[in-house]
Amino acid sequence: MKAEDYIEYNTPEGYLLRVNMRSGTFIAFRAGKPQSWWSAGIESQIHPMLHAIFLGENFRIQTRLDSPLIFFPMESGFVKIPFEYGEESDTRFMRIPQEYEGLDFLPGLAFHFSGYWPNVLPAIGDGRRYFITDQGMPRQNIMRIKAKYPRSRLIVFKPEDFMKIRVEREKIEEQGRARAVDLVDDMTDDAISQNPVFAARYFLRSLDWRKMYSIPMFSRIKMSEVEIIISFLEKMYKSSPGNSELAQHREQLADLADYYYGVQALLTSDFSRIKSWQRKHQTYKRVVLSSLIATCEFQRKFALLDKNLTFAGFLRDVVQVLKDIPSSQVTA
């Protein structure tokens, strides 16, 4: 092994990251001792680097000319992958949960392809590739990536979400006043993870159904928080017939409530509750089922971070049960 195959990096929190570029792995030392973390139920001192692959001509990433290696910042159990999009000069961050509690920087490789298909990629060992694309990606490319890289995760970036934040901020500045739920700048990813109930109030007020599905994917959500969110949804659904704005969204409210009933069942760690939720369905809405599977996977990562292997195993089994639901029972 040559010396140049290793790259070392000292983090502000006192970690020494020793990256093996040839094998695509790293070891994190603290006070001279290698640190262990759990991944997929296994504790190890040798960890795979993250691979972030951006697809589409609108993305821009900053890498060194001689290496795609980047040390990504970590925050609250999430790695933050910086990028720019379109003509905007602002740096955005794609947040992905990782199982490295306490670590403040994570070594990884970043690649950008102007088209919607990656060229030759380096081997990743036991790690996972994260493909990040925009809504212009053809469906056939999505299917090709899923077939060729079955362990990868595909993330679709939707720039209009940032545009809504900018417009709302300008409106607030013009008015010179705002209530708590109007303070869009405060509704960051961290704010969602720290206060899911407040996030739900905000997203329901703006009728942002997609963001409502994402709330349990940001943090270790509590049963009490889920119960409060369900109470919001039930109240809105019951009042919708007499509310002209909500009347047209009764179906979305019912689907969201169904999803949160499923999340509630997950948090009981009781398969009988999962089966009870399933028995209520002759068919499943695609958005409800796919969001519940994603929530299981995110909550499992948090459980592994907490070394709660029993709950992590339960969630792994639930994911398999949900994925085994026949496609004939899934509707748009």
Nearest one of 59, 51, 61 to 159, comparing CA atoms: 59
The C-alpha atoms of residue 102 and residue 117 are separated, in whole angstroms, by 35
At 72 the pLDDT is 93
Q: How far apart are CA 329 and CA 199, in angstroms?
A: 31
Q: CA of 286: how far to CAs of 42, 47, 209, 227, 319, in Å?
A: 32, 34, 14, 23, 15
How far does Cα 276 stand from its chain's mean position?
A: 27
Q: What digits encode the pLDDT tens for the residues 272-317?
A: 899 999 888 888 888 999 999 999 988 888 888 878 899 989 999 9
The tally of CA atoms less than 13 A away on the side-chain side of residue 91 is: 7
Tokens of residue 67, six digits: 């290496």
Res 51: pLDDT: 92
End-to-end Cα, the chain, rounded Å: 53
- Residue ranges of the chain whose pLDDT lies below 50: 1, 3, 162-187
Residue 167's pLDDT is what? 36
Question: 15 near 31, Cβ under 8 Å?
Answer: no
For the chain, count helices (H), then strands (E).
Answer: 11, 17
Q: How far is CA 141 from CA 53, 117, 119, 129, 144, in A?
A: 14, 7, 13, 16, 5
| Spatial separation of the C-alpha atoms in residues 246 and 234, rounded to whole Å | 12
Residue partners of 86: CB distance under 8 A and separation at least 6: 58, 159
Helix 309-323 and helix 286-305, axial crossing angle in degrees, nearest 10:
160
Sorted by sequence, the CB contacts under 8 Å of residue 55 that are 6+ apart come out as: 113, 115, 116, 117, 118, 131, 132, 133, 137, 141
Distance in angstroms (rounded) separating the CA atoms of residues 195 and 183: 14
pLDDT given at position 171: 39
Closest CA to 8 of 258, 59, 17, 189: 17
**Helix/strand/coil for 332:** coil
* The pLDDT value given to residue 126: 61
